[in-house]
Amino acid sequence: MKEFKGRVIAGGNWKGEAAVSHQGFNSLASFQKSALKNAKQVIVSDQNNKDLFGKNITDKALCLPITIGSTTGGLVIQTTCQMGISPACYLFSESIDSLAASGIVLAKIWENSPVIAIDRLGEEFLNTVKTGDQLEVREDGTVIILD
């Protein structure tokens, strides 16, 4: 068991599976195909993301450094939350970027989304967590990688 503490952007308690991207996560490229097809889950469609391409990230903890891409990124995050197909948590090793923050905050306010966001978990967090790991996320920004 390994514990990390970050800054709470959108709080909540949650337990579940991690999906890890070691590079900047392109929200539009990753979510677009699933959202346009009105799919029941997000299968990452960004071919440039070797960690998550082709993987289901709905209801998982998306562990990432930051999001990257166009200014539509926040809207795409908010839309997938509205559709009920978003990751359950966004766990950032770095400080959250403004586009992801806007999408998550809008989803919380406009959609009453339960999405959780914690940033500043650190490089060690991203180097330790693996796709498939079971995580516990706490309201105070604590993230525990369970054994």
Strands of 21-139, DSSP E? 25-26, 61-64, 67-68, 89-92, 116-119, 134-137
User: Which tokens is 145 given?
Assistant: 């990688």
Identify residue 145 by its one-letter amino acid code: I
Overall number of domains in the chain:
1
CB atoms within 10 A of CB 131: 15
> Which pLDDT value is given to residue 74?
93
d(CA 31, CA 41): 10
CA-closest candidate to residue 96, choices 3, 7, 4:
7
pLDDT exceeds 80 at position 147: no
> Which pLDDT value is given to residue 35?
87
Q: How far apart are the first and last CA of the chain?
A: 5
> Which pLDDT value is given to residue 124?
98
pLDDT in tens, 72-129: 999 999 999 999 999 999 999 999 999 999 999 999 999 999 999 999 999 999 999 9
Residue 89 belongs to domain with CATH number: 3.50.30.10
pLDDT in tens, 42-80: 999 999 999 999 999 999 999 999 999 888 999 999 999
> Which pLDDT value is given to residue 91?
98
**Predicted TM-score (pTM) above 0.75:** yes
pLDDT exceeds 90 at position 16: yes
User: Which tokens is 108 given?
Assistant: 């919380």
d(CA 99, CA 139): 22
Helices and strands in the chain, H and E counts: 4, 10
Strands of 93-147, DSSP E? 116-119, 134-137, 142-145
* 36 confidence band (pLDDT: 50, 70, 90): confident
> Which pLDDT value is given to residue 70?
86
- Residue-range definition of the domain harbouring residue 89: 2-145
